[in-house]
Amino acid sequence: MANLKIGIVEDELVIARTITGTLEELGYEYCGPAINYTEALEMVESEKPDLLLLDIQLAGRKDGVDIGEKLNETHQLPFIFLTANSDIETIDRAKKVNPHAYIVKPFTKEELYAAIEIAVNNFRKQDNKPGVAKPAARNGKEFMFVKDGYVFRKVYFEELIYIESEANYVVLYLSTKKKVTVRSSINDFLEQLDSQRFLRIHRRYVVNTHLIADIFPTELILSDVKLPIGKSYRDELLRALGIE
């Protein structure tokens, strides 16, 4: 699966260089930076990015909000607003064009990564647009960032033993004995994971198949944890593991 290509619309060169460097560290392709309304639309046409990072404040009569409005009319392309302003007036203008995320400068690498992946994932689910890359977990990466309260926590897939659904949350159980709680349905969270590695075995549980030690008729053991196998999930589990 090809990496995401991120288009950059930013008229401050120093900030643009910081963004491109961060995108490279995260493994994304990028195009731009475009510095105004006209260049941004030309970049969208010629480079075909999967997502735009849009600075709201741009040189010229038209700004990032105008670009977002145009994208909604003509391209149906996900975009994330980047801005140093978090005042009510700016946010109200931004809300009217339905950005897929809104990041206040300065931001961290983790915040940018999480915003991009969530924006693309939500856009893909809403639009089901062919060619849009799946989340980072399916792009060959070995980790993901999940929001735990006000913190984005890095979770390595090799440390993720299993996931348990609890109402509107999922709890991630790690081999480090830590637990991370994320506001999400188990179905939505499972879509962000590699389906060859993580498998649902029960309406409440998803497991890391690499860590399964033993399988019994109605339960399994992984990393000294015993979990039930739902009757409707058993056949799929056995097929995925190559068990006849």
The CATH number assigned to the domain holding 107 equals 3.40.50.2300
Q: Are 10 and 106 members of one domain?
A: yes
Q: Are 64 and 101 members of one domain?
A: yes
Quote the number of domains for the chain: 2
The CATH number assigned to the domain holding 213 equals 2.40.50.1020
- Structural domain contains residue 139: no
Q: Which two tokens stand for residue 149?
A: 């309260």
Over the stretch 81-136, which tens digit does the pLDDT of each residue have?
998 877 788 888 888 888 888 888 888 999 899 889 888 887 876 654 333 334 44
Q: Are 123 and 10 members of one domain?
A: yes
Q: Note down the domain range covering 175.
A: 144-240
What is the rounded radius of gyration, in angstroms, for the C-alpha atoms of the chain?
Answer: 20
Whose tokens are 């600075």? That residue is 55
- With contact defined as beta carbons under 8 Å apart, do 51 and 78 qualify? yes
DSSP-derived pairing of the beta strands 160-166 and 169-174: antiparallel
Q: Phi and psi for 194 in degrees, rounded to 5?
A: -70, 115
Q: Are 152 and 109 members of one domain?
A: no
Q: What is the pTM of this model?
A: 0.53
Q: Which two tokens stand for residue 81?
A: 């607003």
Over the stretch 48-88, which tens digit does the pLDDT of each residue have?
999 999 999 998 889 999 999 998 888 878 999 998 877 78
Strand partners, 162: 173, 207
- With contact defined as beta carbons under 8 Å apart, do 10 and 35 qualify? yes
Q: Are 47 and 167 members of one domain?
A: no
Over the stretch 129-173, which tens digit does the pLDDT of each residue have?
333 334 444 445 688 888 766 677 888 899 999 999 988 889 999
Classified as helix, coil or strand, 208 is: strand
- Structural domain contains residue 138: no
